[in-house]
Amino acid sequence: MMRILKAFWHAAEIEEDGGGYIDERHAVFVVDKPLGKK
Amino acid sequence: MLAQATPARPTPAKRHVLHPQASPKKKPKGKRRHAKKSEDGAGKEKFAPPLEPAFASECYAALKHASTATEAIAAWVVEHCQLLVAPPREESHSTSAAAAAEAQAQAQAQATSAELASMPGMPALAAIAASSAAAKPPREPAGAFMVLSVGCGDGELDLELLIALSAALAAAAPEGVAPRSLHYVGLEPNSADAAAFTARLDEARVAGRLPSGVVAYVLEEAFDSKAPSQRAAASSAPAAASAVDDSNGSGSADAARRYFGSKHQFDLVVAAGVLASFSGNTHTALQRLLASTRAGGRMLVVQPAKGVPELQSQLMKLACGNEAALLAADEVKRQLAQLKLPPYTMELVPARLHCGDCLARNAAGLQVPRPLPLLCAPSRALVRRASSDPSALFWVVCLPSHDSLARGGGDVVPPPSLRSSRAAWAATCASCASQR
């Protein structure tokens, strides 16, 4: 579990009031299916 | 409950147009080595079994409550829904040409009517022609715009998608032509989430948020390929009249699950954060999604790219010995590259996952009783189950400090603002107290 905790502390931004958050990015793919493809 | 998440920083979404051929076709050597090792290991689970529906639903709800991701993605969808309903390039050209021809014919008819009206004895005939033209019903729409959403969850995102698509279809219709109707099918094998979405749809209809012409329903079915036992049953039994396979009554979880099957293809197929849930590999899952998309249609795929995947990777190494089953956006890019598709677009939508309540163990954070046994006695089986599900991972990641600090802290040092709450953390856990 230590590795997870390390990763967590590394990823989390700790705020002045003791709160914290992790910056996320979600990839949104829009994929066109060609007209000729079944 | 956790405190309401605050909005993400107004970082603009980054947009990329990706050429599949330009993407690397091979996995990094290290990852491939891990995958091979996993496949070779006899008896090792490559994919974790699904979480119990109620627990999965609870985890998902908590994650959504703590993260701004759903609202950020919903905002992206609202902003880009015109792109989702736009016809493909060739069709777009023919549609605009047809609209131009129709406008020209209408102008010609009006000129003829005016000419008739100016001739002696003809005004009555012109009036009849005009009233006849006015009574003509609008041209029939090109057919319903069909949407399939795989793993729609409780519908918080999909309801916004539905409303936005309905508005976009109305805006995209040429003048004097009725807009295409919207037909939405949501697939959600989790009964709790499916029921919640159905209730959400009913509520939206009553409130008038969802136009009455929109057909939308949720099927409690999986899009996944069938379990081996069901495949065998299906191949030995004659084809059922229904497109959906029912349970074979064996009592197992696989047997009880209903699987979606349809030869119909959809204009838009949505898979938001669900690719990791398929039992097969990602390539097969994308192929199945593509097969359900009609030629000229689109797929909308959402997958975490940064944040949770890094933590998930560590948990998978702990639970499974490798991260072969980790599915982040990079893996989706690699798999799309192998499908030989035209260039697609990818945008990175920023969001924040708030873990302050859990970190601080304040009143809101302490109202979460469920994860304590998981964290205080993190059995390998439970961690493995959680490792494949980002929402369950939330419980594991955002609360393990409790366990760590209760047992002495190890080499993980929390920030000064949190050290003072160490005793309070330990005192809140009955399981830890009993072990002391």
What tens digit of pLDDT does each residue of B73-109 get? 999 999 999 999 988 765 554 555 555 555 566 666 6
Residue of B294, B412, B413, B419 to mutate, testing the A interface (most A Cβ within 10 Å of its Cβ): B412
> How far apart (Å, rounded) are the C-alpha atoms in residues B179 and B145?
10
| pLDDT given for residue B201 in this prediction | 95
Cβ contact A26–B352 (<8 Å):
no
Interface contact B417, partner A, CB < 8 A:
yes
How far does B121 lie from chain A, in Å, by closest CA?
54
> How far apart (Å, rounded) are the C-alpha atoms in residues B246 and B312?
34
> How far apart (Å, rounded) are the C-alpha atoms in residues B320 and B435?
27
Interface contact B65, partner A, CB < 8 A:
no
For A18, the closest of B296, B346, B356 (CB atoms) is B356
pLDDT in tens, B343-366: 899 999 999 887 766 555 555 544
Residue B100: other Cβ atoms inside 10 A: 11
For B296, the closest of A8, A12, A35 (CB atoms) is A35
Closest C-alpha to B49, from B311, B283, B373, B392: B392
Q: Which helix (H) or strand (E) holds B288?
A: helix B282-291
For residue A2, pLDDT over 50 is answered with yes
Closest C-alpha to B376, from B436, B414, B432, B423: B432
Closest C-alpha to B130, from B148, B112, B154: B112
Interface contact B88, partner A, CB < 8 A:
yes
Cβ contact A30–B298 (<8 Å):
yes
Cβ atoms B224, B271 nearer than 8 A: no
Give whole-number Cα distances, B411 to A2, A5, A15, B419, in Å. 8, 10, 21, 13
For B411, the closest of A2, A24, A35 (CB atoms) is A2
How far does B211 lie from chain A, in Å, by closest CA?
25
Chains A–B, number of C-beta pairs less than 8 Å apart: 188
SS3 state at B197: helix
Chain B CA closest to residue A6: B412
Q: What is the mean pLDDT of each run of 10 residues along chain B (436 residues)?
A: 42 57 46 40 40 66 79 95 83 52 61 66 60 46 85 93 95 87 93 92 94 92 65 42 33 61 89 81 89 94 88 67 76 90 93 70 44 34 50 47 35 35 40 42
How far does B397 lie from chain A, in Å, by closest CA?
7
Interface contact B300, partner A, CB < 8 A:
yes
Interface contact B360, partner A, CB < 8 A:
yes
Cβ contact A29–B344 (<8 Å):
yes
Kindly list the residues from chain A whose CB atom is less than 8 angstroms away from the CB atom of residue B82: none
* Token pair recorded at residue B188: 């959600």
Q: What ipTM was assigned to the predicted interfaces of this complex?
A: 0.90
Cβ atoms B308, B393 nearer than 8 A: yes
How far does B333 lie from chain A, in Å, by closest CA?
9
Strand partners, B351: A24
Residue B363: other Cβ atoms inside 10 A: 10
What residue type is assigned to position B431 of the chain? S
For B404, the closest of A5, A32, A38 (CB atoms) is A5
Interface contact B198, partner A, CB < 8 A:
no
DSSP label at residue B187: E
Report the predicted TM-score, pTM, of the whole model to 2 decimal places: 0.67
How large is the C-alpha radius of gyration of chain A? Answer: 19
- The CA-based angle B276-B279-B282, given to 5 degrees, is 50
Cβ contact B88–A35 (<8 Å):
yes
Strand partners, B179: none
How far does A14 lie from chain B, in Å, by closest CA?
8
| pLDDT given for residue B301 in this prediction | 96
Kindly list the residues from chain A whose CB atom is less than 8 angstroms away from the CB atom of residue B292: none
- Residue B208: HSE in the Cβ half-sphere, 13 Å Cα cutoff: 0
Residue with the two structure tokens 């729609």? B152
* Pairing verdict, β B215-219 and B266-272: unpaired
* Token pair recorded at residue B338: 């192998």
Chain B CA closest to residue A26: B304
For residue A9, pLDDT over 50 is answered with yes
Interface contact B70, partner A, CB < 8 A:
no
Kindly list the residues from chain A whose CB atom is less than 8 angstroms away from the CB atom of residue B360: 18-19
Interface contact B318, partner A, CB < 8 A:
yes
